[in-house]
């Protein structure tokens, strides 16, 4: 079975994210992006493209220009990727640490693609959003 081109797109986005390549990520996000962050912590809610890039800079070490991100270690292990023309669904293992806190769960990330081949919408689904909230408290 041939791999859908959006699987390769996701892997390229994931590599750029892991390397802190903000320019590549910015190009891959639609101008009308809606990035849904689950939970009830200060980073949760729906974000625009500019707000999402600012979130990455504040939270993810590889994106932090200040050198002082909220998270000390931001690791997302990709376990599986399924893609169609409009959707990318990934099974992931989140393993983040900061101070004495750790967020270690398996979950699902869902991306809706627009007709230009950019990410138009994002959701993260996890079994324990309270643990996610606690991590960012």
Strands 73-83 and 87-98: antiparallel
Q: What is the 3-state secondary structure (H, E, C) of 56-119?
A: HHHHCHHHCCCCCCCCCEEEEEEEEEEECCCEEEEEEEEEEEECCEEEEEEEEEEEEECCCCCE
pLDDT digits (tens, 9 = 90+) for 77-103: 999 999 999 999 999 999 988 888 889
Instruction: Report the pLDDT value the prediction gives residue 24, as an integer from 0 to 100.
Output: 95
What global pTM score does this model have? Answer: 0.89
- Residue 67 banded pLDDT, cuts 50, 70, 90: low
Instruction: Report the pLDDT value the prediction gives residue 48, as an integer from 0 to 100.
Output: 98
Domain 5-135 has CATH 3.10.450.50: yes
| Comparison of pLDDT for 20 and 35, the residue scoring more | 35
For residue 107, pLDDT beyond 70 = yes
For residue 68, pLDDT beyond 80 = no
Can you give the length of the chain in residues? 137
Domain boundaries defined on the chain: 5-135
pLDDT digits (tens, 9 = 90+) for 117-133: 999 999 999 999 999 99
Strands 101-113 and 45-47: unpaired
């Amino acid at each position: 079975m041939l791999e859908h081109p959006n699987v390769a797109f996701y892997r390229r986005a994931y590599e750029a994210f892991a390397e802190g390549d903000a320019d590549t990520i910015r190009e891959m996000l639609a101008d009308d992006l809606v990035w849904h962050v689950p939970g009830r912590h200060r980073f949760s809610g729906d974000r625009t493209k500019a707000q999402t890039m600012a979130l990455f800079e504040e939270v993810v070490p590889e994106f932090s220009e200040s050198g002082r991100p909220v998270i000390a270690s931001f690791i997302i292990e990709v376990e599986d990727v399924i893609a169609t023309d409009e959707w990318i669904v990934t099974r992931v293992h989140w393993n983040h640490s900061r101070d004495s806190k750790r967020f270690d769960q398996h979950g699902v990330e869902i991306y809706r693609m627009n007709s230009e081949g950019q990410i138009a919408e994002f959701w993260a689904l996890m079994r324990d959003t309270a643990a996610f909230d606690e991590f960012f408290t």
